[in-house]
């Protein structure tokens, strides 16, 4: 399988785990889609990307700015989950981040864990014993380094935002909110074509259901609403191993994004309130 993260989705906020149920928004079957659909292309400029990063922080940590020092073992199969997007020691994206950090700062505080991270990623092991509690302390130290914080953003973008932008161009998705939907799906459920619940699979299913996509003339609001319905179906009944317990509790991510569409917030402008079970307002987007 390609390097892609099949993510955990238990959101820890103030020490509590948010569990959510709910059902799909139901807007996908409306003939005209939701109101305020974008009529012209909207480039995802720097301000929009900052907003996407902060929406990720809302979903991952219940914060409105990226939490670079965050690290915990959620006992969900991912080993240590850490940083802005929840880099996992089990899946290999944490290893990729540390390798990038080694290239930028060879004597960094995390360099000594590279071999252990490689073994964990190579075997897909969730064991944190090889890293130990010292790793937690060192991760938090590394998060004080501006270079490490910049790399967290860059690696996250390279792994998940770039594939989302590529797929968005193929599908004809022109809105900033549409791109955010693809980005969050890639980040949480996988960006590769062989991820059975991933971004590409969900987009293809949406295309088949509607007989096309925005590139072929389907209304983007209608396409996005159906995309969210299909995504929630995959979250509630995943074919990805070991996600049956946590993904059904995370449908509020998709619901929150669909609510933005229902409110016509196709351009991700501040202040932006992310609702569903999150209820966080991003007032000043920043990394």
User: Residue 284 class from Cβ within 10 Å (0-12 exposed, 13-18 middle, 19+ buried)?
Assistant: exposed
Name the one residue in this structure whose structure tokens are 């790793």.
135
CA 224 – CA 228 distance, rounded (Å): 6
CA 276 – CA 30 distance, rounded (Å): 21
Name the one residue in this structure whose structure tokens are 């509590």.
16
* Catalytic residue flag (residue 53): no
CA 195 – CA 54 distance, rounded (Å): 25
Q: What is the DSSP string of 270-284?
A: SSEEETTTT-EEESS
60, 138, 176, 277: the catalytic one is 60
* Catalytic residue flag (residue 246): no
Name the one residue in this structure whose structure tokens are 């590529």.
166
29, 53, 73, 76: the catalytic one is 76
Residues with catalytic function = 60, 76
């Amino acid at each position: 399988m390609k390097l892609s993260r099949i993510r955990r989705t238990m959101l820890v906020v103030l020490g509590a785990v948010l569990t959510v149920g709910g059902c799909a928004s139901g807007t996908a079957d409306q003939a005209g889609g939701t109101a305020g659909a974008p009529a012209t292309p909207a480039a995802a400029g720097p301000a929009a990307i900052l907003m996407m990063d902060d929406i990720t922080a809302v979903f991952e940590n219940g914060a409105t700015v990226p939490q670079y020092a965050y690290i915990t073992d959620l006992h969900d199969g991912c080993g240590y989950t850490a940083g802005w997007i929840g880099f996992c020691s089990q899946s290999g994206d944490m290893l990729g981040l540390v390798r990038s950090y080694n290239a930028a700062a060879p004597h960094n505080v995390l360099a000594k864990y590279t071999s252990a991270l490689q073994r964990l990623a190579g075997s897909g092991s969730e064991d944190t014993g090889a890293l130990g509690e010292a790793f937690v302390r060192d991760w938090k130290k590394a998060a004080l380094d501006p270079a490490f914080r910049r790399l967290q953003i860059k690696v996250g973008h390279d792994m998940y935002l770039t594939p989302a932008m590529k797929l968005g161009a193929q599908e004809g998705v022109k809105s900033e909110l549409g791109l955010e939907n693809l980005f969050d799906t890639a980040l949480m459920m996988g960006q590769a074509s062989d991820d059975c619940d991933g971004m590409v699979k969900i987009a293809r299913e949406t295309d088949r259901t509607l007989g096309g996509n925005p590139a072929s003339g389907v209304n983007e609001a209608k396409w996005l609403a159906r995309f969210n319905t299909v995504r929630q179906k995959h979250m509630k009944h995943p074919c990805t191993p070991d996600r049956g317990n946590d993904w059904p509790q995370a449908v509020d991510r998709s619901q929150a994004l669909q609510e933005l569409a229902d409110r016509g917030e196709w351009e991700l402008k501040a202040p932006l309130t992310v609702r569903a079970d999150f209820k966080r307002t991003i007032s000043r987007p920043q990394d």
